[in-house]
């Protein structure tokens, strides 16, 4: 059953996701909110969005709060999105391979269901086969993190995976699993996924050579962007690279990074 949401109710959920995740949700997202949250109203047998918002606001069910956040923040992604970033990563990994202590740490800061993190891992496994590299993926949605850890994806999301990577790092599904792929167990074991809200202090995660922060800043207002980028730069090594989405910019954020190319920044 699809429920109807009033302007006032929609305003409540705009405020809810802004306070919970720092995301500024435009008025154009009203249909998305209605469709996604109607599922929870039906599951909980609630008759209105007002009743659902009261449940979230009561503080009695933190799991339901997380479920609402999951539904309102999940976005579709795919492997090797924005390939120029992976060309850069491949070059950096090649340079790291010739250092006295080869290795890299890369953070997929808004990893969603894991395609970006596994794309990074494929490049590092190929370029640094004998080095101590690490990939960490974080997301605010616990639901997509569970999907990411499984590493099981529809085949249509794999259309940009290089063919040799597809053969080396993925298993094609057959029978009931036809039309899907499973990331190889040995590669899955090299990728760590953790729950994190970019608007809150980060847990102890150390320093990284490269941070992917792609296609998430577009959902934040200017003040939130500034705080998030500053927080992440605290975990970027000097000389490290910050990669954002091609439709995003750090203009006017006054951050201590130098633009290298569109959507690519380097920390001095």
Q: Order of strands across the sheet with 180-183?
A: 152-154, 180-183, 170-172
Nearest CA-CA partner of 193 in 232, 148, 231, 132:
148
C-alpha to C-alpha distance for 36 and 56, rounded to whole angstroms = 15
Q: How many CB atoms lie within 10 A of CB 29?
A: 18
Q: Is 36 a catalytic residue?
A: yes
Task: Tell me which long-range contacts 44-51 makes (C-beta under 8 A, separation of at least 24).
Answer: 47/3, 48/3, 48/9, 49/3, 49/5, 49/6, 49/9, 49/10, 49/12, 49/13, 50/9
- Beta strands 208-213 and 105-108 are parallel
Spot the catalytic one: 36, 39, 190, 227: 36
Tell me, yes or no, if 139 is annotated catalytic: yes
Return d(Cα 89, Cα 94) in angstroms, integer: 8
Catalytic residue among 81, 139, 157, 214: 139
> Would you name the residues annotated as active-site residues?
36, 139
């Amino acid at each position: 059953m699809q429920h109807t949401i009033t302007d006032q109710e929609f305003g409540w959920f705009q405020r809810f996701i802004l306070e919970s995740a720092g995301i500024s949700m435009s008025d154009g997202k009203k249909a998305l909110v209605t469709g996604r949250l109607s599922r929870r109203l039906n599951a909980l047998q609630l008759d209105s969005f007002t009743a659902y918002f009261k449940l979230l606001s009561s503080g009695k069910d933190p799991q339901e709060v997380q479920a609402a956040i999951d539904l309102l923040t999940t976005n579709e992604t795919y492997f090797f999105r924005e390939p120029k970033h992976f060309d850069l990563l491949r070059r950096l990994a090649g340079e790291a391979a010739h250092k006295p202590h080869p290795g890299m740490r890369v953070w997929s800061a808004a990893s969603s269901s894991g395609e970006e993190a596994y794309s990074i891992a494929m490049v590092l496994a190929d370029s640094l086969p004998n080095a101590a590299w690490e990939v960490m993926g974080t997301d605010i949605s616990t639901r997509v993190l569970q999907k990411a850890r499984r590493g099981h994806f529809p085949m249509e999301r794999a259309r940009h995976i290089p063919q040799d990577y597809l053969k080396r790092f993925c298993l094609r599904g057959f029978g009931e699993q036809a039309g899907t792929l499973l990331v190889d167990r040995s590669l899955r074991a090299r990728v760590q996924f953790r729950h994190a809200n970019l608007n809150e202090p980060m847990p102890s995660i150390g320093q990284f050579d490269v941070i992917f922060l792609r296609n998430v800043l577009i959902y934040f207002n200017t003040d939130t962007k500034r705080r998030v980028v500053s927080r992440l730069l605290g975990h970027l090594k000097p000389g490290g690279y910050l990669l954002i989405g091609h439709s995003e910019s750090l203009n006017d954020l006054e951050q201590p990074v130098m633009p290298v190319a569109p959507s690519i920044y380097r920390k001095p």
